[in-house]
Amino acid sequence: MNYLRVAESTKIEEEINPYSTMKPANQKKLQEHLQAVAKILYQEAETEELESLAGIEKTIRAQTLEYITPELGVFFSKKQQELHPDE
């Protein structure tokens, strides 16, 4: 089920996923931040790789593994250390 529709201007129209366990306000914030991240990653992408769905998927996967996942890991780790400083 698709909760984000790509408009002709390449701006994603926001819709709240009614099946999500995330609070709607947080869904909206996340969508806004992901739009900003997507713009940056798109600017850094090799445009010839974006000519097919397979190329887009490969690019997104590579960028996610290189830039996004490590930052999330560090953030979560620091939060856990703040909650449990003696461990």
- In the predicted model, is pLDDT for residue 51 greater than 90? yes
Q: Which structural domain range is residue 75 located in?
A: 23-83
pLDDT of residue 8: 41
Dist. CA 77–CA 14, nearest whole Å: 30
Residue 58, C-beta contacts closer than 8 angstroms, at least 6 positions apart: 49
67: nearest Cα among 86, 85, 44, 35: 44
Asked if the structure places residue 78 within a domain, the reply is yes
Global confidence as pTM: 0.71
pLDDT of residue 39: 96
Confidence band, pLDDT 50/70/90 cuts, at residue 2: very low
Q: How many domains does the chain have?
A: 1
- In the predicted model, is pLDDT for residue 1 greater than 60? no
Dist. CA 59–CA 86, nearest whole Å: 40
Confidence band, pLDDT 50/70/90 cuts, at residue 14: low
Percentage of residues in the chain having pLDDT higher than 70: 84
State the DSSP H helix or E strand holding residue 75, giving kind and residue range, or none if neither: helix 69-83
